[in-house]
Amino acid sequence: MERTLVIVKPDGFARGLTGEVLRRIEAKGYTLDTLQIMTADRDRLAQHYAEHEGKPFYQPLVDFMASGPATFAIVSGHRVIEGFRAIAGATDPTAAAPGSIRGDLGRDWGLAVQQNIVHGSDSPESAEREIGIWFAQR
């Protein structure tokens, strides 16, 4: 079964939106395999966001992701990677379609980093790589 890594980022966690995100995942028919609340460490964030190293938003992104607790989930289901990214909506929450997590619940707060509530892996290779970073035994 296909798997993806979902993160309810520190903004979503702090706003009490973890349950709402998980509700949408379950309502769509995907399975929650593993859940963990933790504050991400910078070593693993550097691995997770390696593709963005050197971009102007990289350091603010890592700082934001390390700023407080987040919920990490392994979610499974047929075509879950594509399906969760559709539920999540476009990266920029101001432009994300209403009906999506980011479109319904996110906005641009005028901060350096787009606080867009959720992360979802973008390919099977990314998903397995990211799951390996955050869930060493799985």
Q: Binding to ligand DAT by residue 67, rule CB under 6 A?
A: no
23 is an annotated ligand-binding site residue: no
Of positions 4, 18, 71, 116, contacts ligand DAT by CB under 6 A: 116
DSSP assignment letter at 29:
T
Given the complex with ligand DAT, which of 80 and 113 has the nearer CB atom?
A: 113
Q: Which residue has the tokens 């691995």?
A: 47
Residue 102 is assigned to a ligand binding site: yes
Cα dist. 118→5, 21, 33, 137 in Å?
A: 10, 8, 17, 23
Phi, psi of 2 (to 5 degrees): -65, 145
Tokens standing for residue 137: 């035994």
For the bound state, the minimum distance from the C-beta of residue 73 to ligand DAT, rounded and expressed in Å, comes to 15
The residue from 4, 18, 71, 114 that contacts ligand DAT (CB under 6 A) is 114
Catalytic residue IDs: 119
Binding residues for ATP: 9, 57, 85, 91, 102, 116
Q: Give residues in contact with ligand DAT (CB under 6 A).
A: 57, 61, 91, 113-114, 116, 119, 122
